[in-house]
């Protein structure tokens, strides 16, 4: 069987044609990575009607909280920084609802980049709105973006030895890309930090006690096909967990 995996869509503004309708979509690397792992992915659009969202959710055996828009700082009771950009409150609210349902039903959740931040905020945590200004001693966490290459390995992660992530990857260190200007600050309720970059920025979170709730700050979906195939294990275990009862 191929489990159905819902991948959350980003809300994308057509800046060249501001009058045009927004686009709900996501990079093909997310669905590619899920398909490579044996899942059947589909994009979850933003919808107005709660009953429609619930119908879509009910089809999902697992949820990928994907990257994209910055999370609205109002959700963690903070005044927006001028550097916080491209907020989609509609997306925030829809993904928080999907996450709540998934946690209640013990469905697998994989958070990627913004998805990790959304998970953290939904469980009461907070974010650094801009790593470069709020953590001036930190490394460049937009290095892969600066290279204009999602596959650029920017730094190495240190993984907590007793974590689910270490068990999945079968190692305590792995290279990854870096395409985020925000990061986890205060950790949300029940979450555990399980990986860090050399500058101690949190790069992975897990929610113990659930079938599978793992989130990473980087974009392993852009690496698993070639640049760092070890990341395939993350998607393989996530998809496999979606088959479990």
Q: Three-class SS of residue 243?
A: coil
DSSP letters spanning 27-83: -HHHHHHHHHTT-EEEEE---S-HHHHHHHHHH-SEEEE---SPPPGGGGT-PPPTT
What Rg value do the Cα atoms of the chain yield, rounded? 17
List, in order, residues 6 or more apart from 30 with CB less than 8 Å away: 7, 41, 64, 66, 112, 221
Q: For residues 176 and 216, give the distance between their C-alpha atoms in angstroms, rounded to a whole number.
A: 10
Q: For residues 46 and 209, give the distance between their C-alpha atoms in angstroms, rounded to a whole number.
A: 29
Q: For residues 85 and 30, give the distance between their C-alpha atoms in angstroms, rounded to a whole number.
A: 22
Could you list the active site residues?
A: 113, 219, 221
Strands (E), the chain: 4-8, 10-12, 23-25, 40-44, 62-65, 109-112, 127-128, 155-159, 173-176, 183-184, 192-196, 202-206, 213-216
């Amino acid at each position: 069987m191929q489990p159905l995996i819902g991948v959350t869509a980003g809300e994308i503004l057509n800046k060249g044609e501001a009058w045009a309708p927004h686009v709900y979509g996501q990079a093909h690397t997310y669905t590619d990575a899920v398909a490579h792992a044996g899942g059947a992915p589909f994009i979850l659009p933003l919808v107005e009607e709660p009953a429609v969202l619930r119908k879509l959710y009910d089809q999902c055996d697992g949820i990928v909280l994907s990257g994209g828009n910055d999370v609205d700082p109002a959700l963690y009771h903070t005044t927006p920084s001028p550097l916080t950009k491209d907020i989609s409150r509609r997306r925030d609210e829809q993904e928080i609802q999907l996450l709540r349902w998934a946690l209640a039903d013990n469905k697998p959740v994989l958070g990627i980049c913004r998805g990790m931040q959304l998970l953290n905020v939904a469980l009461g945590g907070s974010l650094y709105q801009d790593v470069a200004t709020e953590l001036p001693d930190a490394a460049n966490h937009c290095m892969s973006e600066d290279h204009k290459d999602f596959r650029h390995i920017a730094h190495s992660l240190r993984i907590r030895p007793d974590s689910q992530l270490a068990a999945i990857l079968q190692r305590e260190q792995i290279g990854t890309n870096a395409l985020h200007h925000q990061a986890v600050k205060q950790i949300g309720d029940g979450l555990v930090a399980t990986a860090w970059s050399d500058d101690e920025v949190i790069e992975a979170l897990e929610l113990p006690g659930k079938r599978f709730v793992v989130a990473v700050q980087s974009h392993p979906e852009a690496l698993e096909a070639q640049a760092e195939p070890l990341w395939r294990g993350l998607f393989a275990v996530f998809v496999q967990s979606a088959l479990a009862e």
